[in-house]
């Protein structure tokens, strides 16, 4: 990815933000592997993204009220 998008800014969650994201996911009923999607959603929100583009739209459904979630055409 770095070779294809070398100028793309990246963000990372702090330790505190990870725990906040996990607690928020728990409140939303997110469990198991979908917890990783919760971390992706929180990272996207931190980056100021307006939309998450994914083939797993239903995995991001708990976050649809905070960020748009769309499937590629």
**For the chain, what are the domain ranges?**
15-70
| Residue pLDDT, tens place only, 7-58 | 988 899 999 999 999 999 999 999 898 999 999 999 999 999 999 999 999 9
Is 18 in a helix, a strand, or coil?
helix
Per the rule left: phi > 0, alpha: psi between -120 and 50, beta: everything else, 32 is left
Helix axes 34-47, 15-27, angle to 10 degrees: 120
Return d(Cα 20, Cα 16) in angstroms, integer. Answer: 6
Q: Say how far apart CA 73 and CA 71 lie, in whole Å.
A: 6
- Inform me whether the pLDDT recorded for 1 exceeds 80: no
Q: What local confidence, expressed as pLDDT, does residue 42 receive?
A: 95
């Amino acid at each position: 990815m770095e070779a294809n998008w070398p100028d793309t800014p990246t963000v990372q969650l702090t330790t505190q933000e990870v725990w906040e994201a996990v607690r928020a996911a728990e409140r939303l009923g997110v469990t198991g592997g979908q917890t990783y999607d919760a971390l992706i959603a929180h990272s996207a929100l931190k980056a100021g993204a307006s939309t998450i583009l994914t083939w797993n739209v239903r995995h991001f459904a708990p976050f649809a009220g905070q960020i748009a979630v769309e499937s590629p055409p």
